Copies of this chain bind each other. A is one copy, B any other.
Amino acid sequence: MLNGDDALDTQASVRRANLRRALQLVFRNPGSETRAGIARATGLTAATASSLVAELIELQLVVDGEQAASTGGKRATTLSIEADHHVILVLVVRPTDARIALVALDGTEVETRRVAFSDESRDRMLDEALADVAAGYSGRLLIAGVQLPGTTDGRRVFESVQLGWTDVPLAERFEAALGIPVLLVNDVDAEAIAEASREDESSGYRLFIHIGTGIGAAVTLDGELAPGPRDRAGEIGHVQVQFGEDARVCRCGRHGCLESASSMTAMLGDGFDDALDDDAITMLAASADEEKLAEGARALARTIKLIAAVLDAAEVVIGGPARALGDPFLSLVQAEIDYTATGTVKVPVRFADADASISTGVAQVALSSALGVRWSPAQLRAASAPPLS
Contact = CB atoms under 8 A, between A and B. Distances in A.
Interface of A: 7-11, 13-14, 17-18, 21, 42-44, 203-205, 207, 217, 219, 221-222, 226-236, 238-246, 252-254, 302-303, 305-307, 309-312, 314, 340-342, 344-345
7 contacts: A8-B8, A14-B14, A227-B227, A229-B312, A236-B310, A239-B345, A240-B302
Count this chain's copies in the assembly. Answer: 2
A229 B204 contact: yes
B9 A21 contact: yes
Contacts of A310: 207, 217, 219, 233-234, 236, 307
Contacts of A11: 11, 14
A342 B252 contact: yes
The 10 residue pairs across chains A and B that have the minimum distance between CB atoms: A233-B312, A8-B8, A8-B17, A232-B312, A236-B309, A254-B341, A221-B228, A253-B341, A204-B229, A239-B309
Contact of A222 (B219, B228, B238, B244): B228
Contacts of A305: 239-240
Nearest to A207: B310
Nearest to A238: B344
A55 to B, nearest CB: 15
Main secondary structure on chain A at its contact with chain B? loop
A35 B222 CA distance: 39
A244 B246 contact: yes
Nearest to A253: B341
B9 A14 contact: yes
Contacts of A13: 8, 14
A243 B340 CA distance: 14
A244 B245 contact: yes
A152 to B, nearest CB: 12
B309 A306 contact: no
A228 B243 contact: no
A229 B313 CA distance: 9
A243 B240 contact: no
Contacts of A42: 9
A44 B9 contact: yes
A217 B309 CA distance: 9
Contacts of A203: 229
A345 B237 CA distance: 11
Contacts of A14: 8-11, 13-14
A243 B244 CA distance: 9
